[in-house]
Amino acid sequence: MAFGACVFPDRAAAGGALAARMLQQHLTPPVLVLALPRGGVPVAYEIARALAAPLDVMLVRKVGMPGQPELAIGAVAAGDIVVHERTIEQEIPGIAADFERIAAQERLELRRREQVYRAGRGPLALQGRTVVLVDDGLATGSTMLAAVRAARAGGAERVVVAAPVASPQAAALVGAEADQLIILQTPAMLLAIGQWYECFEQLEDVEVCRLLELHRGNLAQPGRTDQTER
């Protein structure tokens, strides 16, 4: 699963490379692609386009360490799914109380994002489908693990996790619960996902909504190309 070190130009390029790999996997239909927003959306867009599969978001939020929000101490997902980084809780006394406080804040953000990204639409049905969960990278793996469990709770027949890059620890954690793991690179030292991209800009809600709406239009018009619209 590990390959020579490669920095992706941007998330779309990483998604294209990942899509090429996934076309070789012969996934069991029907397939549904779910992106972890925001960073996973441009990656998932390329995969969904290549597979001609529906695209939606998997609403999940990292619970960050107090004072170090980029360091995950767990995650929450739709359906009251909660993942704890138990090793951190053991190392830092009292962190459990902070976890509950931050998790409550992240649940509010989940509800906000659902209103913005779905614009009144309900989530796509997972029952009986091969669900492909996509992010732009897996550092600790806790956020993706919450997504895997949420997909299972939603009735997914098979859960596939796809990402351009992942730490070995995250790949092992998520791979233990997913049915299939498709990762292009698993560098021994992964300090930050952004190090594996030349362009790793912060995405805004408007871009997430644009890509979701664009893909819906593409599926409605199978002969349409979107190369000039990206």
Q: What are the residue boundaries of the structural domains of the chain, listed by start?
A: 11-60+124-220
For domain 11-60+124-220, give the CATH number: 3.40.50.2020
pLDDT of residue 225: 46
Cis peptide before 164 (omega within 30 of 0): no
pLDDT of residue 117: 94
pLDDT of residue 5: 62
pLDDT of residue 222: 60
pLDDT of the chain, 230 residues: tens digit per residue: 334 468 999 999 999 999 999 999 989 999 999 999 999 999 999 999 999 999 999 999 989 888 888 777 888 988 788 887 666 666 776 777 888 899 999 999 999 999 999 888 888 899 999 999 999 999 989 899 999 999 999 999 999 999 999 999 999 999 999 999 999 999 998 888 999 999 999 999 999 999 999 999 988 776 544 433 44
Stated pTM of the model = 0.87
pLDDT tens sequence across 145-188: 999 999 999 999 999 999 999 999 999 999 999 999 999 999 99
